[in-house]
Structure 1
């Protein structure tokens, strides 16, 4: 009978697996219908991209006859999703050109290509703008022979395009689009320092490595970080990251270096989720967008949780996200550490920004007694023990020193008995803060405690962030 039961169970599991596979394919088909560009959209993009490339080539060769133009990125590799409006044009100059001249020519070519464009700065300046409804970057770089000999980070990008063009056929390109749609849907796509997610290049390499979207999900569901992938078996560099994908064009670089451990874990969670319960909403970022938190809902959360939430609100420094968010995270870590060092236990913390920036900490303990215990050294460590004793023996505000076990102990007056006192004091500036955040706080900030947080709800962006905070998901 036992064998029969096992056989029946196995048949049932097989049927369930087949049903899930069919469901998976039905969902995938629906998602493809939404994310795959149609013939008209492709034709429009190719027409615009060709016009841009011709403009850039004419302007570049007028200044340097040996210059050339290369399209890079997802639209060059047919891995772009319908609705994406980004075109990247790289203008390559010979390596005998000095960097100053490259930057000068690069900006001139950029402005000739995009007359209404504006200058932005990565490792060196480039021109960004709009052309026929597309967002366009015109980026100068050196035409080096080998990606290991780059003179700036952008010099590596053309090698990425060449490497993937040789490996991505139509089927794999389609699988990349599907993977990007999924990563966008679950909120982990984008290598900017706000998201710290999967870049387009990393996504393409992973799909090539595993041979498709589903094989990638099945592998990711079982990852045991740190995970190390080396597509070209370079086998040289080592990295301390949760996911390591050695750049096929540069063995000293981890393509996944910016990827956070949180986002690796999120991928694993949702990979298991979509394989077990396939549904199209996991590919739709709009399905995850909460309504702004209402005043009534905020008060309900505060009453139910019985914690002490505190927000420091200040005008967001005028920085791009890649500069702002690392500074906000550093400041959050410093403030959290400063609170915990003073025994104000932090339950959870977050930081977010709209026109204003907010460092938000939710405290399990926000008030402490007037005295705190301070352990001294063991008494047998004579020099340190005697120094400790002398420091406190005549302190009228200290209880002790007395002996507890093998060491001196005092109970001394606590500097701050409430978290608010600490956060309103100059001691806030002793913690590790981002430079621009520190300057903004020095100019003035608003401290909101408990129900005072309702003031944040006047900003829709902050109300949405608070809705995410109080309804956390993987």
Structure 2
């Protein structure tokens, strides 16, 4: 399902006063030189924005082709739907319905709305039947319930069943909200704001924070439209974002009924119990702030161009390791067969468990990341950890209770006095202390032991590790470059 149709967040209202495409103030060419090669100030910003608009705005032919395909398929879907439920109807939703799609996007989202009297099983049955009638060559996929996806004339089509309800607060599944979001924004997006939505989407893509999937944890299409409407355009949004102080709270319809702990809160205008921005990580909110400041200070087209780094070479990786003086350790395993929205939360949970386990055993974690190979070749998952300390002494200190806490102190003393393999107990600072044999003296020994499975792994990742995994330490991590070279460049050459 496309991002707009599957989004669990909301829509936004606009009390916008303009598109955000402010007129140049003229200061850049005060000397009257209209042929200046390098515009500056507002003129430079407008030059960049006009260049980007030329790239992202669909041309009339592209719009016409999409419109014809969408209309034809919507009519086919409506015929199939009303054959089964006379009160059913079909609405096109998402960015292509609201004129906020970027040239080259190919998503057409058709929602088939069935009367609420139907039960869930019948909805799914009718929905799949309508989907296959609309897309004879389509295939079934599953979000909160099954739907049909296919390709027609180069466009990606989703035919999604939902209930036709009076209010978004009555929804039975997340997709039921989408038509409400669509209607809300259609009333508020004029051509200028729609054009600024396209700019904003491309900017967010360029800085790497666009997408509500759980791998990216960024700004969804719906959230982007809401923010543009709320602030009145692309430039006003960036001007506001550069001065945000999280928690940032926006309540387009002044619901004022719910509270959230997220760094960015945009109350769903159709459902006050939802934060449209709940998926946005604090890091991605901060990235928008950072790049808003940079772009407004010195506009450049590069901010709209997604970074696609080349793979780090073996010599470059070894040079980074030499300069840093840290020890990289990696756990590589066959990734579970999960969609990204299931896989990445499990990878992050597993990484948290592993780093906690390493820290608790004295192998000081410097930085860490999780990644998965999604090129279809091997399907590997990777937990990559950089350690400040890779090897510890054979003994470790173990502090006991204060001597004056009689019961606990006597129990500790008696237990360790009977253990011939410890130093002590002795007294230091008013409490018993022993020095006992350390369970693991190297990070590798811990990671290759069964104790790895005590740290709190994601369920499917744990199953994958039980099947098999390999631990790579130090220079051995160069073996990862063929699969994860670009990700390792991002790790060792970080940017905001």
Q: TM class by shorter-chain length?
A: over 0.9
Partner of 2:315: 296
1:348 Cα deviation (Å)?
0.8
Residue of structure 2 aligned with 1:343, choices 340, 349, 362:
362
1:361 Cα deviation (Å)?
0.4
Partner of 1:45: 66
RMSD: 1.4
Q: 1:403, 1:69 → 2: CA distance?
A: 78
1:222 Cα deviation (Å)?
0.7
Residue of structure 1 aligned with 2:491, choices 466, 469, 474:
469
Q: 1:387, 1:139 → 2: CA distance?
A: 65
Partner of 1:110: 131
When residues 295 and 241 of structure 1 are mapped into structure 2, their CA distance, relative to the original with a 3 A threshold, is same
**1:201-280 matched pairs, under 5 angstroms:** 201-280=222-301
Q: 2:205, 2:292 → 1: CA distance?
A: 13
The answer to which structure has the higher helix fraction is 1
Which has the higher relative contact order, 1 or 2, with Cα contacts under 8 A spaced 6 or more apart? 2
Q: Which runs of 4+ in 1 moved over 6 A?
A: 14-18
1:302 Cα deviation (Å)?
1.6
Partner of 1:78: 99
Q: 1:141, 1:368 → 2: CA distance?
A: 59
Once structures 1 and 2 are overlaid, which stretch shifts more, 69-78 or 304-313?
304-313
Residue of structure 2 aligned with 1:68, choices 83, 89, 110:
89
Contact 2:28-2:42 at 8 Å conserved across structures: no
Contact 1:20-1:275 at 8 Å conserved across structures: no
**1:1-400 matched pairs, under 5 angstroms:** 19-285=40-306, 288-354=307-373, 355-400=379-424
Q: 2:185, 2:482 → 1: CA distance?
A: 47
Q: 2:41, 2:411 → 1: CA distance?
A: 71
1:298 Cα deviation (Å)?
1.4
1:392 Cα deviation (Å)?
1.2
1:398 Cα deviation (Å)?
1.3
1:129 Cα deviation (Å)?
1.5
1:390 Cα deviation (Å)?
2.1
Q: 1:281, 1:442 → 2: CA distance?
A: 44
Q: Deviations over 1:339-376 (max 9, x none)?
A: 00101011110111112111100111111001111111
Q: 1:169, 1:392 → 2: CA distance?
A: 76
Secondary structure of 1:138 counterpart: strand
Residue of structure 1 aligned with 2:476, choices 449, 452, 458:
452
Partner of 1:401: 425
When residues 317 and 26 of structure 1 are mapped into structure 2, their CA distance, relative to the original with a 3 A threshold, is same
Partner of 2:454: 430
Contact 1:398-1:412 at 8 Å conserved across structures: yes
Contact 2:201-2:221 at 8 Å conserved across structures: yes
Q: 1:254, 1:384 → 2: CA distance?
A: 49
1:15 Cα deviation (Å)?
7.0
Q: Deviations over 1:140-159 (max 9, x none)?
A: 10011000110111101100
Residue of structure 2 aligned with 1:440, choices 455, 458, 464:
464
Once structures 1 and 2 are overlaid, which stretch shifts more, 54-63 or 69-78?
54-63
